[in-house]
């Protein structure tokens, strides 16, 4: 699966703020650009996991069809 997201890094005196344009809630910061990149990757994983858990909870007890969506 290939999915490209847009990471945005904003420099400020203490380091960098970072967010993903296409994924609300995926934001973080770091003292260096490299730290901000690593923190942003972790934030994306956490947002996706939290969204998955919320959806599973909301759909509990309902008949659903789940399948992998591959984006290229």
Spell out the per-residue pLDDT of the chain, length 72, in tens: 688 999 999 999 999 999 999 999 999 999 999 999 999 999 999 999 999 999 999 999 999 999 998 888
Integer angstrom CA distances of residue 1 from 4, 59, 69: 10, 25, 8
Is 37 exposed, middle or buried, given 0-12, 13-18 or 19+ CB atoms closer than 10 A?
middle
Query: How confident is the model at residue 52, as a pLDDT?
Result: 95
Number of H helices, E strands in the chain: 1, 3
pLDDT of residue 2: 83
pLDDT confidence of residue 1: 65
């Amino acid at each position: 699966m290939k999915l490209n997201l847009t990471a945005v890094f904003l420099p400020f005196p203490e380091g960098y703020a970072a967010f993903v344009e296409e994924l609300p809630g995926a934001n973080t910061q770091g003292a260096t650009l490299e730290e901000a990149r690593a923190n942003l990757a972790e934030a994306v994983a956490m947002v996706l996991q939290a969204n998955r858990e919320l959806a599973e909870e909301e759909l509990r007890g309902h008949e659903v069809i789940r399948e992998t969506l591959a984006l290229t």
